[in-house]
Chains A and B, each alone.
Chain A
Amino acid sequence: GQQVMQIPQYQHVQEGEDFTTYCNSSTTLSNIQWYKQRPGGHPVFLIQLVKSGEVKKQKRLTFQFGEAKKNSSLHITATQTTDVGTYFCAGRAGGTSYGKLTFGQGTILTVHP
């Protein structure tokens, strides 16, 4: 079955440093979504990427979708304490499993002031 792997599992940074998390799928994805979960909260949608090679930016966050549509990354420039939380990627394969949404294990980001 489809597997979505995410690395690293944990990342500790000093405030102001950059942060990157990577997502890899065992199968080609129709699209990929990124979510953020604050401690004690529920996952909240950040962005969706659909096209091969797509790059999208949200202020200090840059999202990329690989050319083969099997990998993706989230990069945060100059982290702030408000960036603390767990970042998940979620992939949807096409075909008969179109309803299924598989999440990676998540990257837990800690930002030290």
Chain B
Amino acid sequence: NAGVTQTPKFQVLKTGQSMTLQCAQDMNHNSMYWYRQDPGMGLRLIYYSASEGTTDKGEVPNGYNVSRLNKREFSLRLESAAPSQTSVYFCASRGWLTEAFFGQGTRLTVV
């Protein structure tokens, strides 16, 4: 099994550009998450989807949008990238009362 697959692994954007981070899981999990990780800030929740068809804001949703396309896929979109969005982004999925499985991460730099 591939687990959680994130694309791309690395990305450089110019300020104002848009992009979509893709995430797919093959474990039939209901819940999916997007986190960002910055030095000294831990993992901060951007958006999550408790189940197919629902999405909710996390701690730091401003500047982001998400789409739960189906049970497998959960995408994160930056409409107008800003330097403050330079970070490492992790997608994760989780079944009911089980642990979270993380993707390999996307290292995004906005210049």
Binding site for B on A (CB under 8 A): 1, 6, 9, 31, 33, 35, 42-45, 48, 88, 90, 98-106
A76 CB, min distance to chain B CBs, angstroms: 19
- Residues of chain A contacted by B100 (CB below 8 angstroms): 33, 35, 43, 45, 90, 101
Contact A42 B48 (CB under 8 A): no
| A105–B42 alpha-carbon span in the complex (Å) | 4
- Residues of chain B contacted by A88 (CB below 8 angstroms): 42-43
| A9–B31 alpha-carbon span in the complex (Å) | 28
- Looking at chain B's contact residues, the main secondary structure is strand
Binding site for A on B (CB under 8 A): 30-31, 33, 35, 40-45, 48-51, 56, 58-59, 90, 92, 94, 97, 99-105
Given contacts A90-B100, A99-B51, whether A42 and B56 have CB atoms under 8 Å apart is no
B57 CB, min distance to chain A CBs, angstroms: 10
Given contacts A99-B51, A101-B48, A105-B42, whether A33 and B56 have CB atoms under 8 Å apart is no
Contact A99 B104 (CB under 8 A): no
A33-B100, A106-B43 are known contacts; what are 5 more A-B pairs with Cβ within 8 Å? Answer: A1-B59, A43-B100, A99-B51, A100-B45, A105-B41
